[in-house]
Structure 1
Amino acid sequence: MNQTAVPTVRVQNVRQNCLQRKLYIFGGLALLLLIAAFFSEQLCPYDPYLQDMTLTKAPPSAEHWLGTDRYGRDMLSRVIAGSKTSIFSTLLLVGFVTLLGSSIGIVCAGAGKKVDTVLMRLSDMFLAFPGLVFALAVAAVLGGGVHNAILALAAISWPKYARLARSQTLALQSAAFMQAARMAGSGTLKRIRKHVIPNIAGPILVTAMLDIGTMMMELAGLSFLGLGAKPPIPEWGSMVSDTRNLLPIQPWVTLAPGFAIFLSVTIFNLLGDAVRDYLDPKNRT
């Protein structure tokens, strides 16, 4: 047996264990964040909508850990309640864009040159505009709101997934197992279900995971500008916007939702990096 093979195997095992540990740690943190958001109503110490004008702009205390806003609402409760809107709206957006863009990309790769040309030129048209500016215009036309903000961001985000799925599918069409499946009489839908989707799912999943943080920031940005969640719905971006003029005198009111955005984006970005490294074939050899 080659003497250098043993150290190489050990290095590979150590690297794989480190990648798994990173994936478990950040996956666990993301799962805790999702659980906390799902049970946010039960975790709130106070009613996030309850106004008490006698406690207006109260500083942090034992009763109100993050103080109160200008309407006397407990900021900790509002931040916790806002996690459900901010996090699950982001996940809904990423899931919708991933399915839509990937489906269009697969259709482009297999439906013929005319359909491919039309859909790819359509994606070029969407990509020609600055992304967030186009999303602002779409959200403004639709009238604002969380659902309209999701649609606006979906309109600018699907071309990336469509191009990725299209390129991956085209690369698979010349593979030997695809030709064998075609010669065996497998129909188009069966080949897509059994061969195309499993083989392109990895890169698309990594892209989606890395997009969660970006989408969360963009949704918060639309809400900050008044084109996302509408008051009194607790949402981190709109909460930062509502309290930004209090930043010089009561910074905790504005920094609380801002820190929640920072923490959530950091966790999901680190999870996306861990998933990418774990699925990278170079780290398995």
Structure 2
Amino acid sequence: MSSSVTVRRQKICKDHTKKRLVFFLLLTVFLMVIVVFAEHICPYDPNAQIFSTLEPPSALHPAGTDRFGRDMLSRILVGLQTSVLSTLALVGIITVVGTTIGILCGHLGGIVDSLMMRVSDVCLAFPGLVFALAIAALLNGGLQNAIIALAVVSWPKYARIARSQTLALKSTDYIAAAKLSGDTTIQLIVRHILPNSAGPILVTAMLDIGTMMMELAGLSFLGLGAMPPTAELGNMMSGGRSMLQTYPWVIIGPGIGIFVAVVIFNLLGDTVRDYLDPRNNRRQ
């Protein structure tokens, strides 16, 4: 009796996790459709200064206008596009670079491993955002330089994960069998090490999207990211911070855009982590 109840509970848990994953995937797809087609969805030209300045939200301008007479809803949509695509590019860069370095260090070992791990120790020794601020300031700001600055300080996390996974896989029987069958280093990495290390790396990348979006927005807010007149959510909040009490919609709108995007990606990342967790799979 108790065994059947346990099996039923496990099945319910598994179905619930799958439903959550499907729901958040659909929500993310909806967000990405808005991001990709933002320039076609926005009701007005986001850079057109043709309206009355600082109009409150209305039927004509649901998010109001800014101090230059630009439609805020149009700028929020285009700013969301800039923020999300920049964040995805950043996460893609640090995932590929960090994973490549970690797998090579774990597989080759020796002086290369020691050198790259000491470099990663230096990057991890400083608070990430403070280190990125210093690098972005040296590069004179700009969105591309902000991405470079965050990439420089963020890759060690992925390198550490990939290296630990590689070291664990090196001692397995099927890796030894693959070596005996004549597989080259590249074949070992592509066929065996990378596929078996992908789970933790994928989960980390999914959970990092929200964090990287906040940090990119933070650099733009401080004047070291996207520069005017580029529509970017952090930059828009920076431009309206002095008007929070008098014209709050100028800063609340971009803030809501960042909040919604970060929440969606974080919820998707949490669900993917639960779905891929081997302990949950065993329970299920």
Q: TM-score range by the shorter chain?
A: over 0.9
What residue number does 2:69 align with?
Answer: 72
Residue aligning to 2:26: 28
1:184 equivalent in structure 2: 181
* Alignment match, 1:4: 2
Structure 2: segments with no counterpart, 5+ residues: none
The alignment status of 1:117 with 2:137, answered yes or no, reads no
1:141 aligned partner, one-letter code: L
Q: Aligned partners of 1:71 and 1:108: how far apart in 2?
A: 52
Normalised TM-score (structure 2): 0.98
Kindly indicate whether residue 162 of structure 2 is the aligned counterpart of residue 174 of structure 1: no
Of 5-14 and 161-170, more deviation after overlay is shown by 5-14
TM-score (norm: length of structure 1): 0.97
CA drift of 1:8 comes to 2.1
Match of 2:149 among 152, 168, 171: 152
Q: Distance in 1 between matches of 2:260 and 2:26?
A: 14
Query: What's 1:269 paired with?
Result: 266
Aligned residue pairs total 282
1:55 aligned counterpart, secondary structure: coil
Given that 1:15 and 1:283 are in contact with CA atoms closer than 8 Å, whether structure 2 keeps it comes out as no
Q: Give the drift of 1:45.
A: 0.4
For each residue in 1:92-121, what CA deviation from the matched residue of structure 2 results, as whole angstroms up to 9, or x when unmatched?
000000000000001101223111001101
Name the CA distance, whole Å, in 2 between partners of 1:63 and 1:168.
55
Distance between the aligned counterparts of 1:184 and 1:62, measured in 2? 70
Q: How far 1:72 moved relative to its partner?
A: 0.5
CA distance, structure 2, for counterparts of residue 171 and residue 5 of structure 1 = 35
Identity of aligned residues (%): 57
TM-superposed CA distance for 1:192, in Å, is 0.6
* Residue in structure 2 matching 1:231, options 217, 228, 233: 228
Deviations 1:30-71 (A, max 9, x none): 11111101000110001100002x500111111001110001
What is aligned with 2:215?
Answer: 218
Cα deviation for residue 267 of structure 1 reads 0.6
Structure 1 residue runs of 5 or longer lacking an equivalent are: none
Q: How does 1:240-251 map to 2 (within 5 A)?
A: 240-251=237-248
